[in-house]
Amino acid sequence: MTSCGTKSGGKQPSGRDITSAVKILGIDPGASRVGWGVVERIHGSDPKAVSMGCITTEKNTALDLRLLTIYTAIDRILTQNRPDVMAVEELFFGKNVTNAMQVAHARGVILLAASQRGLPVVSYAPRTVKLTISGTGSADKKQIQRMIMRILHLPKPPSPDDTADALAVAVTHAYTNRFKEKRS
């Protein structure tokens, strides 16, 4: 597995008010790839990217071992970034229910990692995230990548799209400010 985390080059605003800063870990859960991104929202300023990455697991590895990989990586990300809240994309089950079931297993261990630390968890529907980030609920992955690059002042679109989607969930939370309002 890989958890290709990178630190963002975004500058910290001067005169930062620590008390009003909220660090949000956004998660885009998947069966073989889990995107993640940490965003800091400081009152009165744009959200800033802190770090981001994508946890990948091998499709032909047994599910229980893949879950262990995902849990271990999320636990390390929580230790390294110490977020105030986890924002996770809700599951969308279209035609491929079997795949959605595997994603739900992964989402389970991600929520567990948060609850073991007493971290609040909030959920956002994919459509809400797209609407918040791009103004349309039907935005495609490239649109989301471009909009996240622009919003977070990144040098290039976050890649893979799982990472961009995770940052999008975190930014959605930063914008809608529902801290502690809704769980899992």
- Decide if residue 71 touches its own copies (CB under 8 A): yes
The binding track of 95-114 with respect to its own copies, each residue x by CB under 8 A or -, is: --x--xxx-xxxxxx-xx-x
Contact between 170 and 26 under an 8 Å Cβ cutoff? The reply is yes
Q: Catalytic residue, from 40, 161, 162, 165: name it.
A: 162
CA dihedral sign, ordered 134, 174, 46, 38:
negative
Q: Catalytic residue, from 28, 40, 161, 165: name it.
A: 28
Alpha-carbon distance 107 to 103, whole Å?
A: 6
**Catalytic residue flag (residue 89):** yes
Alpha-carbon distance 146 to 45, whole Å?
A: 20
- What are the φ/ψ torsions at residue 42 (nearest 5 degrees)? -115, 130
Q: Catalytic residue, from 17, 40, 84, 89: name it.
A: 89
Question: Helix (H, G, I), strand (E, B), or coil: what is residue 116?
Answer: helix
At closest approach, how far in Å is the CB of 176 from its own copies? 18
Which one of 115, 128, 143, 176 is in contact with its own copies (CB under 8 A)? 115
The binding track of 41-70 with respect to its own copies, each residue x by CB under 8 A or -, is: ---------------------xxxx-xx--
Q: Identify which of residues 12 and 116 has a Cβ nearer to its own copies in the complex.
A: 116
At closest approach, how far in Å is the CB of 66 from its own copies? 9
**Catalytic residue flag (residue 162):** yes
Tokens 């262990």 found at: 68
- Can you name the residues that pair with 85 across neighbouring β-strands? 24
**Catalytic residue flag (residue 40):** no
